[in-house]
Structure formats: structure tokens, C-alpha cells
């Protein structure tokens, strides 16, 4: 037997004394339950993102990332710190040899690696944030080198020194150049002086520091700038998309405000040469 009690249509029987809602009231009740569950989930997820600590891996590669008196500095370091600090995302930075840093990032959830070139072999192995800066690829030679290098193709007869897991190493090998791969880039100046290699593919910024440290300024000289490569944060595939999107948005906001331009200028990052033809 059905009768009205207030706004509810009630069916009386001997087994069930609970009210029965009409169709509109059922829909409202379902929507309320759905929104309650959704809002609770969002609050938990947002709180988890704020509580999540991000592990950052990097290598020693000035002016992008390096340690000075026990603290991390550099173009990429300063830009990443600015974004994460504003987002109140906690983080730790650990410096490792590049090949190990790549491996640790793939093994460690909620981790990212910088400053990373987005090469074809890495593309699907990470989630990407950036670009945060750019690097130039330069061939160095001994000062008595007699070869004429107008384009990268002119370097094909020569042995080129690189280091393990570096983007230049992958690029040159994949394009059929003769490559001698060192464990660390710091070994290549001495190999070039000893004529174990003919050319050295590196970053001009890192090369300048290594040549000063190894007292080789003037002995080894740049011969050809052959590429410009954007640099990114390469993150573990399980990094939450919401965190990735927030970091990307903050980096874009900082760039729009001119913060990145000031950081570049503070490290004297030069503009890309206008004559440079990119090799892809």
C-alpha cells in the first residue's frame, strides 16, 4: 500500500518499513554519493601529491648542474628549484655518473633526471617535463689538427671521443661515425692529447671547465658546433600526471615572468649561433 509522507512516496509492507524514493530523488541521491566519493578521492590525491617527495638525479655538468661547496647550482638546478619551491614539493638531489643516473631514474618511482636530451632511445622510457634549457654540441681537436671541418659529415674519417650513455654518443653511433666511448667525459681531453682520438664531442661549457682543470687551455680548441639540443627533466613513468602537469605549468609561468631569462644571464649562457644547422 502506497501513500505520501511529506515529499516521500512510501510503500508500506510487512517486510520493509524504509521509504522508497521516486526517480528524481534517486538520481539526486546517487549524484550526492558520487560527488562525496569523488571529492574525498581528490582531497586524498591532492594531499598525497603535496606529501610526495621527489628524488632528483643529475650529473656534474656545468653550467647546468654542478656542486659548489656542498650545494647544487646551475641553470637547470635554479629553474627546477624555483618551480618546486613555489609548488611546495619537497625534493632531494643526488649526483651520480650519467649512466648510473639514467638507470637509477628508471628504477626509482617518483624520480626525475636532469639535464636530459630527449633522444629516440629514451623517448618512451620516461615522462618528460620541459624544456628547461639547451646545450650545444661541439667537436674539439688538438691545436695542430689539420682537417677542415665545415659540416659534421667532414668528421667521418676521424675517431670521435664521447662518454658512456651521453646523447652525443648515441647520436654519432646511430649515424655511423667512428666513436671511442670513455667511461667519463673527464677522460677525453687526455685521450685527445695522446692522439688516441682525433676529435672530442662535448659541450663547450663543460669543455671550458675541464680544460682549465687539466691545464689544457690553448692545447685543445673548438672546431665545429654541430647541434643544439633542448634539455629536459626525464621522469619515471609512474610519476603522477597531476604532479608532472603542475611542474610543467610552473616552469612555463616562470619563463613568462622572465625568471628563466635572468637565470640564463647569471650563468652567461650564450645565444644559439645563428649559422647553426641542426642535425636531427
**Residue 215 backbone class (left: φ over 0; alpha: ψ -120 to 50; beta: rest):** left
What the block records as the C-alpha cell of 102 is 639514467
Give the helix/strand (H/E) hosting 172.
Answer: helix 167-174
pLDDT value, residue 42: 42
Q: Angle, to 10 degrees, between the axis of helix 75-87 and the axis of helix 259-266? A: 150
Question: Does residue 23 have a pLDDT over 90?
Answer: no
User: Comparing 52-133+231-266 with 136-228, is the CATH topology the same?
Assistant: yes
pLDDT-based confidence at residue 257 (cuts at 50, 70, 90): very high
Q: 143-155: per-residue pLDDT in tens?
A: 999 999 999 999 9
More confident call, 161 vs 43: 161
Distance CA 260, CA 266 (A): 10
Question: Domain 136-228: which topology?
Answer: D-Maltodextrin-Binding Protein; domain 2 (3.40.190)
Pairing label, strands 54-58, 91-95:
parallel
Q: 48-79: per-residue pLDDT in tens?
A: 444 579 999 999 999 999 999 999 999 999 99
Percentages of the chain per state (helix, strand, coil), in multiples of 5 = 40, 30, 30
CATH superfamily label, 52-133+231-266: Periplasmic binding protein-like II (3.40.190.10)
Give the global pTM.
0.75
pLDDT value, residue 22: 57
Question: Taking the domains of the chain in order of start, what are their residue ranges?
Answer: 2-48, 52-133+231-266, 136-228
Averaged pLDDT of the chain:
86
pLDDT value, residue 27: 54
More confident call, 186 vs 32: 186
Amino acid at each position: 500500500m502506497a501513500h505520501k509522507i511529506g515529499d516521500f512516496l512510501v510503500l508500506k509492507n510487512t517486510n520493509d518499513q524504509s521509504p522508497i524514493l521516486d526517480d528524481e530523488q534517486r538520481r539526486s541521491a546517487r549524484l550526492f554519493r558520487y560527488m562525496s566519493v569523488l571529492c574525498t578521492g581528490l582531497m586524498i590525491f591532492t594531499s598525497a601529491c603535496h606529501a610526495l617527495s621527489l628524488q632528483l638525479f643529475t650529473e656534474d655538468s656545468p653550467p647546468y648542474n654542478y656542486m659548489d661547496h656542498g650545494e647544487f647550482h646551475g641553470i637547470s638546478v635554479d629553474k627546477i628549484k624555483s618551480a618546486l619551491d613555489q609548488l611546495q614539493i619537497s625534493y632531494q638531489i643526488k649526483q651520480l655518473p650519467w649512466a648510473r643516473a639514467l638507470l637509477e631514474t628508471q628504477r626509482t618511482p617518483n624520480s626525475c633526471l636532469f639535464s636530459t636530451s630527449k633522444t629516440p632511445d629514451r623517448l618512451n622510457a620516461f615522462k618528460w617535463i620541459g624544456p628547461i634549457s639547451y646545450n650545444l654540441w661541439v667537436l674539439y681537436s688538438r691545436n695542430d689538427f689539420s682537417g677542415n671541418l665545415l659540416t659534421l659529415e667532414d668528421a667521418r674519417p676521424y675517431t670521435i671521443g664521447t662518454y658512456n650513455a651521453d646523447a652525443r654518443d648515441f647520436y654519432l653511433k646511430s649515424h655511423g661515425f667512428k666513436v671511442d666511448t670513455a667511461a667519463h667525459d673527464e677522460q677525453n681531453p687526455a685521450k685527445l692529447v695522446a692522439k688516441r682520438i682525433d676529435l672530442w664531442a662535448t659541450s663547450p661549457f663543460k669543455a671550458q671547465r675541464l680544460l682549465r682543470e687539466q691545464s689544457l687551455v690553448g692545447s685543445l680548441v673548438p672546431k665545429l658546433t654541430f647541434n643544439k639540443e633542448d634539455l629536459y627533466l626525464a621522469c619515471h613513468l609512474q610519476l603522477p600526471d597531476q604532479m608532472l602537469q603542475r611542474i610543467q605549468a610552473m616552469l612555463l609561468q616562470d619563463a613568462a615572468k622572465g625568471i628563466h631569462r635572468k637565470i640564463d644571464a647569471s650563468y652567461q649562457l650564450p645565444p644559439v649561433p645563428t649559422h647553426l644547422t641542426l642535425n636531427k
